[in-house]
Amino acid sequence: MKDTKTLNNIIELIKTSEKSRNCLVLSHQNPDGDTLGSMLALGEILTKFGHNVDRAISDPVPEIYKFLPFANLVKLPGDSSLKEKYDIVFSLDCGSVKRLGKAGRFWETAINTVNIDHHISNENFGTINWIEAHATSTGQLIYWLAKNAGVNVSNEVATLLYVTLLTDTGCFSNSNTNSEALSWGSELIQLGAEHLNVYRKAFLEKPFKTIKVFGTGLENLNLIEDGQIAWTFVSKDVLKSFSASGEDTEDIVDHIMRTKGVKVGVFFREDENETKVSLRSNTDFDVSKIAVANGGGGHKRAAGINIKLPLVKVKDLILNKVIEEYNNERNKQ
């Protein structure tokens, strides 16, 4: 932790209020395990200080996180039991007001706004901004807050913070998996984090339909260009036959990138009126250029496009572009 001064300001704001305050904790839209775990943990800590706490997110809690402690308390921004105006609103793991989605309206009317995050790109949009770019997860900031405020970290809070750690280290597989991350994980387990249950429920378990759709994605796997480009697809008939949706195909593209020798991966998902393309690269080959040139977007190593054409047409169109660009790059080297 580097910014002790800001942390102390936040603790002062929480502690010094004699009477209980109306607090609201917010996640970014399409919540992941870090934003959600941080928000629920902070909500619980604030209640320990006697404050009235509401929790809101622009989108519903994803199915895989519904088992988390206090997840049942989360409300959507339109919920009539939410107040018009709060004394303190907290934003967790969110880079801008825009990313709060519909829940952003509470930010505009709040008396105090506290922005807690670990993204260097954070827009500092709060009255208090506590950004620790070196932290493993935003949950780690909540842990520091609890420790410094002298709050007892319950096993429920430890479980929530453990979810933030697993999410942002990719279950201890990303490059931010270092000794600090592991020793923090050890502390959380000592505090009673239900680590086995969390790993199984949030990261391992999938519904039957997802496993079946995944199988189809692997069944259709092809290698081209000397095994350096992998591509596969899932048709709308397959999705329909398992009563599955786009969500059930999310792991496929990353999984095909595990094929030895593969540098670029392309996944096609056929929807009702369009085809969704996911592109991946594990080298310097920039897939976002292909995405942008075809009306999509993304990053160098992960990009996507939605095209209002049937799968058969999109498949040839995009694969030809990928092969062409890939060979252009190869010839330059």
Q: Name which of 138 and 275 has its Cβ closer to Mn ion.
A: 138
In the complex, what is the shortest distance from the CB of residue 109 to Mn ion, in angstroms, rounded to a whole number?
26
In the complex, what is the shortest distance from the CB of residue 139 to Mn ion, in angstroms, rounded to a whole number?
8
Question: 281 — phi, psi (to 5°)?
Answer: -140, 145
Q: Name which of 97 and 252 has its Cβ closer to Mn ion.
A: 97
d(CA 42, CA 49): 11
CA distances from 118 to 35, 125, 166 (A): 11, 14, 15
In the complex, what is the shortest distance from the CB of residue 263 to Mn ion, in angstroms, rounded to a whole number?
28
Q: Name which of 140 and 210 has its Cβ closer to Mn ion.
A: 140
In the complex, what is the shortest distance from the CB of residue 42 to Mn ion, in angstroms, rounded to a whole number?
14
26 in Cβ contact with 57 (< 8 Å): yes
For residue 214, give every residue at least 6 positions away whose Cβ sits within 8 Å of its Cβ, in sequence order, or none: 206, 248, 249, 251, 252, 255
56 in Cβ contact with 73 (< 8 Å): no
**Kind plus residue range of the DSSP H or E element containing 236:** helix 236-241
Q: Name which of 110 and 163 has its Cβ closer to Mn ion.
A: 163
In the complex, what is the shortest distance from the CB of residue 32 to Mn ion, in angstroms, rounded to a whole number?
7
Q: Name which of 6 and 137 has its Cβ closer to Mn ion.
A: 137
d(CA 43, CA 194): 19
Q: 317 is written with which tokens? A: 């169109």
Q: Which residue is nearest to Mn ion (CB)?
A: 34
In the complex, what is the shortest distance from the CB of residue 129 to Mn ion, in angstroms, rounded to a whole number?
16
In the complex, what is the shortest distance from the CB of residue 35 to Mn ion, in angstroms, rounded to a whole number?
7
Residues that bind Mn ion (CB under 5 A): 34, 93, 137-138, 168
Q: Name which of 132 and 168 has its Cβ closer to Mn ion.
A: 168
Q: Name which of 7 and 234 has its Cβ closer to Mn ion.
A: 7
Question: 125 — phi, psi (to 5°)?
Answer: -95, 10
* Nearest alpha carbon to residue 248 among 64, 29, 58, 57: 64
Sign of the C-alpha dihedral, residues 47, 49, 53, 59?
Answer: negative
